[in-house]
Chains A and B, each alone.
Chain A
Amino acid sequence: MTIELSGSSAIVGLGETDYLRGTDQGVLELVLDASMAAITDAGLHPEDIDGIIPPGGYVTSEEIAANLVIPDLRYSASVQMGGASPTAALQSATMAIATGVATNVLVTFGWNGYSAFRRQKGNEHQPRRRGQETPFIDISRHYYAPLGVRAAAQWYSFYLRRYVDLYDVQPEDAANVALACRRHAHLNDKAQMGGREMTLEDYLASPPIADPLRKFDCCLETDCANAVVLTSAERARDLPHQPVLWLGGAEGHPFPADDITNRLDILKLGIDTAAPRAFSMAGVSPRDMDVLEIYDCFTYVVMMQLEALGMCEPGGAKEFVADGNIELGGRYPLNTHGGLLSQGHCWGLNHIVEATRQLRHEAGPAQVPGAELAAVTGYGDLGDGSVAVLGRDR
């Protein structure tokens, strides 16, 4: 028996904290605040939630249930894909709902992505949770870390170097991604970089981090939390907001996922296998999208994902991101909230929140007129990928 998943679930509630550099709130409190906001936005009460999916490590389903007083938790799971986890979790939530295992599922993520790495006056007594060991810890600690290579910017540069060489991608090309996100951030009250202008000259003058990455290719360290609530498409139609349907989604893992350097094709990411599955399930083409919410940990990684999604041919991203095509007013507005690069880093759950706002037609000055379809990607660890195709319920 196959259960039809496409269109069976809907996002019905959204919650987000501010995106901060420095807070005296620990990760658990941030997650609870975002979760309570999402449940309230959905027109539900905490006791209506019977499934919780947080990414592994920072907070547990049981802590959330204990604090929000959810006495009968029926389904708890975590996805272990780093930044690809929240978008992959939409698939897990949909499976739980479609099979009747759970009714209303909370997908949440939060972290002290800034404060956990810094002791500051005022937060000395907060628990500093940094998350659990990564799925690739054995390889990383034996072969990368002893060489001073301990950051995502350094790991990914091993394939980004091949990518920029193969397709002659210049910093001016990647700058288009950073500049689009920054311009969109100016429209978003919650964006960290709102009002802080960035020009191409600023971008080019930003210091090198790990060749080919420079500072303005990199996302922002952030303290924040987001949450969304999913339920069945049927129940969604009785709740306060315009339902946003999960039309299709998939996760993908490069092989081997735990070591970047020994892949058969070092340029193939998890998104490459996830995207065709997600669009096929949704029954739509990448070119049908009205809004793109692409996991922008680094500008060049956005470009590779656009190619993997099928928005353009391999090597075509540098043309795709040029000439305002990915800015509001262009054909494929990308990261209309400012993204990880200019709003803040919430592991891409903020991309799901923004895609949902766009499809509700509640995105304010960043609204893409008449948006019906959005693609969201997640990217994490050493190249894991997830995709969700979302659509406005008609």
Chain B
Amino acid sequence: MTDGATVRRYVPRTTGLHRDFYLHTLAGGLHLQACEDCGERQHPPRYYCRACRSKALSFKAATGTGTIYSFTVSHFTHDPGWAAAAPFGTVVVETDEGPRIVASWLGANDDIRIGTRVRIVIEPVNEAFGMLQAEAL
């Protein structure tokens, strides 16, 4: 996904727990928040566990695999940096740990199917952000 190089894509200046998510994920593959009290995994990261409201949360490595839960193919985007890539696929992946993440689809748009097994691939963009991408297993 290096097209659109002439026009820069939006890159977030990551903050707070979301920055922590990307720092862990850049360093060691997809990470998800885990509750030290009840074991719940959650995403996006929060300050309290969604199952028991504990604050004892930390980022733990995930398998990085999952299943396509939903998707869209965008023929239009507000981001000029993505315009050249249109139509592009975006998938919602249900990770094997449970929480769902959004990822760019690496592959032909016609091949996107709900239920397809995928692997998450991280493309580093800067020291505190990497793009989440998904490819078929």
CB contacts under 8 Å to B, within A309-340, are: none
Do A148 and B82 touch (CB < 8 A)?
yes
A316 CA / B98 CA spacing, docked (Å): 30
Partner of B44, one of A143, A146, A161, A165: A143
Q: How far is the CA of A205 from the CA of B118 in the complex (A)?
A: 33
Contact at B76–A151, with CB atoms within 8 Å? yes
Q: Does B60 contact A (CB under 8 A)?
A: no
Q: Does B117 have its Cβ within 8 Å of any Cβ on chain A? A: no
- Let me know if A149 and B102 touch, CB within 8 A: yes
CB distance from B10 to the nearest CB of A (A): 5
Decide yes or no: A262 and B90 within 8 Å by CB, A143-B101, A209-B75 being known contacts: no
Number of interface residues of B (CB under 8 A): 43
Whether A161 and B12, one on each chain, are in contact in the complex, defined by CB atoms closer than 8 angstroms, is no
Which chain B residue lies CB-closest to A153?
Answer: B76
Q: Of residues B22, B70, B71, B129, which shows the largest number of chain A Cβ atoms within 10 Å of its Cβ?
A: B70
User: Chain B residue with minimal CB distance to A141?
Assistant: B12
- Closest chain A residue, CB of each to CB of B21: A142
The answer to the question of A135 belonging to the interface, with a C-beta cut-off of 8 Å to chain B, is: no
**A158-176: which have CB < 8 Å to B?**
158-159, 161-162, 165
Contacts of A266 in B (CB 8 A): 70
Q: Are A158 and B10 in contact (CB under 8 A)?
A: no
B9 touches A148 (CB 8 A): yes
Question: Would you call A67 an interface residue if the criterion is a C-beta within 8 Å of the partner chain's C-beta atoms?
Answer: no
CA distance A246 to B74 in the complex (A): 40
- Say whether A144 contacts B102, CB under 8 Å: yes
Residues of B within 8 A of A143 (CB): 18, 44, 101-102, 132
Question: B67-95: which residues lie under 8 A (CB-CB) from chain A?
Answer: 69-79, 81-82, 85-88, 90, 92
Consensus secondary structure, chain A interface: helix
Interface residue count for A (Cβ, 8 Å)? 30
B72 touches A157 (CB 8 A): yes
Which listed residue, A146, A261, A262, touches B129 by the CB 8 Å rule? A146
In the assembled complex, B131 has its CB within 8 A of some CB on chain A: yes
Bound-state CA distance A138–B44 (Å) is 10
Q: Find residues 215-269 in chain A having any chain B CB closer than 8 Å to their own CB.
A: 259, 261-262, 266
Q: Is the beta-carbon distance between A148 and B77 smaller than 8 angstroms?
A: yes
Which residue of chain A lies nearest to B76 when distances are taken between CB atoms in the complex? A209
Question: Is the CB–CB distance between B114 and A150 below 8 Å?
Answer: no
| Docked complex Cα distance between A211 and B70 (Å) | 11
Within 92-137 of B, Cβ neighbours of A (below 8 Å) are at: 92, 99-104, 114, 125, 129, 131-132
Within the complex, the shortest CB–CB distance from A377 to chain B, in Å, comes to 24
Task: Give the chain A neighbours of B71 by CB distance below 8 A.
Answer: 158, 161, 211
Tell me the complex Cα distance, A207–B87, Å.
Answer: 12
In the complex, chain A residues whose CB is within 8 Å of the CB of B104: 147-148
Q: Which residue of A lies closest to B92 (CB)?
A: A261
Q: How far does the Cβ of A157 sit from chain B's closest Cβ, in whole Å? A: 4
Known: A139-B44, A207-B75, A262-B43. A154 touches B99 (CB 8 A): no
What is the bound-complex CA distance between A269 and B133, given in angstroms? Answer: 28
Q: When the two chains form the complex, which single residue of A139, A146, A211 contacts B10, counting CB atoms closer than 8 Å?
A: A146
The answer to whether A208 has its CB under 8 Å from any CB of chain B is yes
A153 to B132, CA, bound (A): 21
Q: Is the CB of B43 within 8 A of A154?
A: no
Does any Cβ of B come within 8 Å of A145's Cβ? yes
Taking CB atoms, residues of chain B closer than 8 Å to A259 are: 44
Asked whether any CB of chain A lies closer than 8 Å to the CB of B11, the reply is: yes
B37 vs chain A, min Cβ distance (A):
20
Nearest CB on B from A154, distance (A): 5
Q: Is the CB of B72 within 8 A of A161?
A: yes
| Minimum CB distance partner of A144 in chain B | B102
A208 and B77 CA atoms in complex are apart in Å by 12
**Any chain B CB within 8 A of the CB of A204?**
no
Contact A261:B101 (CB < 8 A) given known A146-B9, A158-B70: yes
- A210 interfacial by beta-carbon distance below 8 Å: yes
Seen from chain B, the residues whose Cβ lies within 8 Å of a Cβ on chain A are 9-12, 14-16, 18, 21-22, 42-44, 69-79, 81-82, 85-88, 90, 92, 99-104, 114, 125, 129, 131-132
| Partner-B contacts on A (CB < 8 A) | 138-139, 141-151, 153-154, 157-159, 161-162, 165, 207-211, 259, 261-262, 266
Top 9 nearest A-B pairs (CB, nearest first) are A148-B82, A157-B72, A142-B18, A211-B73, A150-B78, A261-B100, A148-B77, A208-B75, A210-B74
